[in-house]
Every structure is written in structure tokens, then in C-alpha cells.
Amino acid sequence: MSSSLRKVILLLLLIILAYTISGCGSSKSMDAAVETSHSRVASEAEMINDGVMYDGAGAALGTKLVHTLEYSLLVSDPQEAVSRIIEQANNLNGYLVESHISAHNGESNYARLVVKVPQDKMHEMSNYLESMGTVQNQSMYTEDVTTEYYDTEARIKVLQKEEERMLSFMDDESATIQDLLAIEREIAQVREKRESLQARMNVLKNQVNYAQFNIHLNSSYDEISAPQGTVSKAKAAFIKSINSMMQLFNWLVIIFSVVLPYLILAGLGYGILRAVKKRRLAKKE
């Protein structure tokens, strides 16, 4: 083998060795970058305090409270009261969650509804409910979700940053197909966690921004005014009496129709009997 040929073979071996080393180095550097991204996420998540929350400038953030109010009221007409409460909630930029009306003999005697109004309109809604009728029971429950609120918010931001970093790795020209597939799997996992946390965050925001009113309405029968539906009840009683009389008249007609033939026969027999007696008396005279 000539010296020139040996040089060419040696040069080719060096090129192959250099390419292999560079490829392994790129893969290791990509894995290291991904691992560094996870480390940053873990370190940022650990920076969330368990006590008072702070924003980026170090200022204390407000407390997040969930208010739930229970009301039991006596009203003259539960169905009408439901319509008025829904209208008032809409006027306060709130909304209806659910409603249920129970009726007996065509009249509502019980209703239940759930409405939500903005937190700053809570007292105004309470005053309105208390003016509608007699308050049988009233209570309020408060839940502090400050820690969960800011913890969820911080984790969403951390996952957003991680997703952005992972997407930046996709633009690396030195990344192999295996590297890109691994990054895509990581992005899918991060995105799934972020969307799950975002759904929970939306629920927390709604609970914090809106106070919930669980309202129970019962008919009030101890008022000075006539009970609800007096006219309709009187009308129903009158119609019922007329129907009873008509039914009795119908039965009398039926009975008379059954007895009439016998009455006719009895009348004929009585007439014949009298005629016979008259003839006998006439012969004796």
C-alpha cells in the first residue's frame, strides 16, 4: 500500500470519528438542555411561598375568599319571587345558575334557586332578599383559597416558560430526529399539565369574583290579605258543586226512566180496577 493511499484512508477515518463525536455531543447537549429546563421549573416552583404570596416586585398580594350565602324566605308567591330575584341578579351583572319551582294544585308553594353576583354587589343582593319577605334563616360561609389561587397561577406561568424553552429547542439545527421526538413528547406533557391547571384557575377566578346565593322560598299563609288563589279555589268549588248537582239530576232521570214503565202499568191496573168497581156499583143500584 502506497503512502498516499494510507493518508487518504487515515483522513477518512478521522472525518468519520469527528462526525460521530460531534453527533454524540449534540445529543448529550440536547439532553442536558432538557434536564436543565426541568431543573429550572422545579427551582421556580419551590420559590412559591406557603404563607403570604408576593408578586414579581415583592409586593404582597390580596387574600382570595369564596363567599357562599344561604337564605330561607317566606314570600307570598314563590314563582313571582324567583322572577324578581333573577331580574335583580341580572341588574347587578350576575347570572342564574339553576332554579326549581314546586307547585300544588296549580300554585307554587316552594322554590329553590342559585344565583351568582359580583363580589362587590354581595351586600346589595343580601339587602334586596331581606326586603322581599320574612327571613327564616340566613347564613354565610367563607373559604380562603389564597394559597391554592396563587400557587396555581404561579405554576401556570412556570409551565408556560418551560413550554417556550422547549419550543426553542425545536429550532436547533443540530438536533437529531430522536431529539425532536423527545422534545415533542415533553411539550405535550407540559401543555397537558398547563391546560389542566388553567381549567382549575378558571373555576377559582369565578368563585372568587362572584358570591353565590343559595335561596329557598316558601309560601307565606299567615298574611292579612287573602291567601294566594282564593278566587280560583272558590271558582273550582262552585264548578264542583254544579257538577255534583248535574250528576244527581242525571241519576234521577235514569231512575225515573227505569221506573216509568212500571208506573204506567200500575196506572193502567188502577184505572181498570176503578172501572170494574164502578160497573158493579151501577148494577147493584
Q: 191 and 93, same structural domain? A: yes
The answer to whether residue 92 scores a pLDDT higher than 90 is: yes
Separation CA 74–CA 110 (nearest Å): 9
Whole-number percent of the chain with pLDDT over 70: 71
The answer to whether residue 237 scores a pLDDT higher than 80 is: no
Separation CA 178–CA 184 (nearest Å): 10
Q: 75 and 182, same structural domain? A: yes
Q: End of a domain among 203, 225, 247?
A: 225
Backbone angles phi, psi at 111, to 5 degrees: -150, 150
Q: 204 and 90, same structural domain? A: yes
Q: End of a domain among 190, 208, 225?
A: 225
Whole-number percent of the chain with pLDDT over 90: 41
Joined grid coordinates for residue 182: 423527545
As beta bridge partners, residue 117 has: 211
Ramachandran quadrant class, 55 (left: phi over 0; alpha: psi -120 to 50; beta: rest): beta
First to last CA, the chain: 183
* Total structural domains within the chain: 2
Q: 240 and 196, same structural domain? A: no
In this prediction, residues 230-249 reach a mean pLDDT of 74
**Beta strand pairing call for 65-75 and 210-219:** parallel
Backbone angles phi, psi at 52, to 5 degrees: -70, 135
Separation CA 82–CA 103 (nearest Å): 13
Backbone angles phi, psi at 141, to 5 degrees: -120, 135
Q: What is the pLDDT of residue 58?
A: 44
Sole residue written with cell 272558590 = 234
Q: 78 and 140, same structural domain? A: yes
> Whose CA is closest to 117, among 86, 80, 150?
86
Q: 285 and 241, same structural domain? A: yes
Q: What is the pLDDT of residue 247?
A: 78
Evaluate whether 119 touches 125 at the Cβ level (below 8 Å): no
Backbone angles phi, psi at 222, to 5 degrees: -105, 30
Separation CA 179–CA 34 (nearest Å): 10
Question: What pLDDT digit, counting tens, does each position of 101-153 carry?
Answer: 887 766 678 999 999 999 999 999 999 999 999 999 999 999 999 999 999 99
Q: What is the pLDDT of residue 50?
A: 46
Q: 147 and 21, same structural domain? A: yes
Q: 233 and 221, same structural domain? A: no
With bands split at pLDDT 50, 70 and 90, how would you rate the model's confidence at 230?
Answer: low
Q: 154 and 57, same structural domain? A: yes
Separation CA 84–CA 134 (nearest Å): 16
Q: What is the pLDDT of residue 260?
A: 77
Q: 144 and 114, same structural domain? A: yes
Q: 167 and 119, same structural domain? A: yes
Q: In this predicted model, which residue has the larger pLDDT, 164 or 226?
A: 164
Q: 81 and 24, same structural domain? A: yes
Q: What is the pLDDT of residue 256?
A: 75
Domain extent for 24: 1-225
Q: End of a domain among 225, 255, 271?
A: 225
With bands split at pLDDT 50, 70 and 90, how would you rate the model's confidence at 51?
Answer: very low
